[in-house]
Chains A and B, each alone.
Chain A
Amino acid sequence: MHNLWPWKLELRGTPSRAMTYLSPLIAIVLTMLLGALLFAALGKDPLAGLKVFLIDPFNGKRAISELLLKATPLILCALGLAVCFRANIWNIGAEGQFTVGALFSGAMLVFLDVPNHAIPGSVGLVLMVLAGIVGGAFWASITASLRDRFNANEILVSLMLTYVAQLLLMYAVNGPLKDPNGMNFPQSKVFSDEFMLPMLLSGTRLHIGFAVTLILAAVMTVFMTRSFRGFSLMVGGVAPHAARYAGFSSRSALWVSLLISGGFAGLAGAFEIAGPIGQLLPSVSPGYGFAAIIVAFIGRLHPVGAVLGGLVMSLLYLGGELAQSRLGLPSAITGVFQGMLLFLLLASDTLINYRLRRKARI
């Protein structure tokens, strides 16, 4: 392998703490540089391309509110995934848990939102949110129980369940939850305003869910760094033998982390339904659950990091949409950037344990 690479990696005595925090920044900068090259290769002005991704999403109150709105589901999913990954549980199915959360909360709203059904909007919202959390946690519990009882690989199970969840949603919007007056489109009715989340900022689409997300990030910070349960989860992930010796149950780590993760993803689904979307559609998520995996890693599996990572990822989503309208590029460019970002993060993370030295010529 040696000759492919003019640098030599030298093992550090101790992992570099500075690099732990610098590596996401290096990855983001490199992604942008590669992105500029990509723009140039596509015959677009690289600077104009970067402006669309880095500056335009901050242009004014409306743009910023959209940035925060898009970050909300990403942060929520990443908060849960960070717990899972710390406990060494590879839950890859946040997308499915998000979908089922959206489905459950949408079904709840279809049930509640009937004319003359005297339910106050606030009660309806609480029920809707609970349904979303239960839906996501339920979907994650399938993965947890199959892993627990049958030792089935959680990566593959949670992923297969994502496809099942997508088909379940398709079935629901084509069948029981379909809008009878919807011109035969596969979608539910548009929910009435009283069951929509209150706005955080008037004149924008930014709803109260963003504030809830920030509060939950603070709660999770306390949980993960200050609570005994959070500590035992982490020990189980880093050193399973030590955890067993200390009497920390890996079973409970599996269940706790998956239920938290599923609940958060389901909540994100509920917020999308009662927030920007306002009805149940087959396409509730443009891959938030998968993007949140990257967000969790960019955020160093820390709740505060998840908030920052969620904002970065939101920038990529908005940049992709703007690239479509302003530069005429396919919006799927977001996915390319997402993949590059994760690759470059993994590559830069090498610098945590290794030092880069120029190889001596022989």
Chain B
Amino acid sequence: MEQLASLIAASINAGTPLLLAALGLLINERAGVLNLGAEGMMLVAAIAGFAVGYSTHSPMLGFLAGALSGVLMAALFSWLALVLATNQVATGLALSIFGTGLSAFLGQSLVGLGLPAQAMGIPYLKDIPFIGPALFQQHWMSYLALLLCGAIAWFIYRTRAGLVLRAIGESPESAHALGYPVRWIRFAALLFGGACCGLAGAYLSLVYTPMWVEGLVSGRGWIALALTAFATWRPLRVLLGALLFGGVTILQFYLQGMGVSIPSQVLSMAPYVATIVVLALISRNPDWIRLNMPASLGKPFKPDAS
């Protein structure tokens, strides 16, 4: 029982960065933009967040720095993909390659430094038996991510602005004809996505690990991208998927702790293999994916060409 509670708690901890990043990417993709730079944005945010958090002793400032650096990276992407209408796949890859290099470059002097432990959990609630240690012993960012998930679901389905966002993802030409500034809205969506990926990266280096090593994000940006597709671009399913993947990530440590005689490297493959398997399962029905996917996803919009 106690072990189950800590397994749930650890899954939430591991799922938080995936949830944050995937929610940001969901907003990008609902607006019709595919940003494969999530891994790069998260890496840069992780090092920026860690550097600021370490030098100011304020995790809050660290998170702010992480979000800001994510926004800056997203702005770089936006300039290329929206103003110059470059191929989004190639531009996103460029962002990831650039982020990998930049984070390694900036982080070289910070390798091996540690952060003090942070206060975790909600007072009083965390003392409830079982439910307390399972659900209420998280960093405040996890609860913020949960709130964000609800807010985004509400925004997309219940507000006029959310409707416009979806319309732009489905048919930018029609939205343009109706007078909506397609590229400005896409710009805003990308910056929001950058901020979310930034918070996710900062969470990894400030709370989850908490330290900096080269390549710290280790594919979580890509897993978050896959998550948006698993979730068929629905926020609440993103939450479910993030918890599930958090669980898969954590399970390896539990199996190791239980003395299962599988080499640790093979266990570490679990999240990546799981991503591949789920991706294959979910894509099996192309009609279903096509039905849910924002119709203009990945296609540059050039108002002068239409």
Contact = CB atoms under 8 A, between A and B. Distances in A.
Contacts of A333: 101, 105
Given A168-B265, A336-B98, A163 B218 contact: yes
Interface residues of B, number: 56
A20 interface: no
Given A161-B276, A332-B105, A174 B83 contact: no
A46 interface: no
B contact patch SS: helix
Given A156-B226, A335-B100, A151 B272 contact: no
Contact of B104 (A9, A160, A291, A332): A332
Given A167-B266, A350-B86, A332 B286 contact: no
A75 B138 CA distance: 48
A215 B281 CA distance: 41
B80 interface: yes
Contacts of A347: 80, 84, 86
Contacts of B83: 1, 4-5
Interface stretch (B7-15, B89-97, B198-206): B89-97
Contacts of B163: none
Nearest to B187: A1
B234 interface: no
B76 interface: yes
A150 B288 CA distance: 13
A335 B104 contact: yes
Nearest to A342: B94
A164 B272 contact: yes
A346 B269 CA distance: 34
B263 interface: yes
Interface residues on A, range: 35 or more
A151 B276 contact: no
Given A1-B83, A155-B36, A346 B263 contact: no
Contact of A153 (B87, B108, B218, B279): B279
A11 B303 CA distance: 12
B275 A160 contact: yes
A346 B90 contact: yes
B94 A346 contact: yes
Q: Name the residue among A151, A160, A294 with the largest chain B CB count within 10 angstroms.
A: A160
Contacts of A342: 90, 93-94, 97-98
Interface string A174-209: 110000000000000000000000000000000000
Given A160-B275, A333-B105, A335-B105, A290 B229 contact: no
Contact of A170 (B100, B265, B275): B265
Contact of A334 (B84, B101, B289): B101
Interface in A77-102: 90, 92
Contacts, number: 152
A338 B99 CA distance: 10
A150 B283 CA distance: 6
Nearest to A42: B105
B129 to A, nearest CB: 38
A217 interface: no
B222 A159 contact: yes
A28 interface: no
Contacts of B104: 330, 332, 335
A330 B105 contact: yes
Contact of A335 (B89, B101, B273): B101
Given A160-B272, A170-B265, A151 B286 contact: yes
Contact of B269 (A5, A159, A164): A164
A93 B229 CA distance: 19
B106 to A, nearest CB: 8
Interface of A: 1, 4-5, 9, 11, 90, 92, 146, 149-153, 155-157, 159-161, 163-164, 167-168, 170-171, 174-175, 287, 290-291, 293-294, 297, 330, 332-340, 342-343, 346-347, 349-350
18 contacts: A153-B229, A157-B279, A160-B275, A164-B272, A171-B265, A294-B94, A330-B108, A332-B105, A333-B105, A334-B101, A335-B97, A336-B98, A337-B101, A339-B97, A346-B80, A347-B84, A350-B84, A350-B86
5 pairs of A and B residues whose beta carbons are closest in the complex = A335-B101, A339-B98, A332-B104, A171-B265, A342-B94
Interface of B: 36, 40, 76, 79-80, 82-87, 89-91, 93-95, 97-102, 104-105, 108-109, 183-184, 187, 214, 218-219, 222-223, 225-226, 229, 263, 265-266, 268-269, 272-273, 275-276, 279-281, 283-284, 286, 289, 304-305
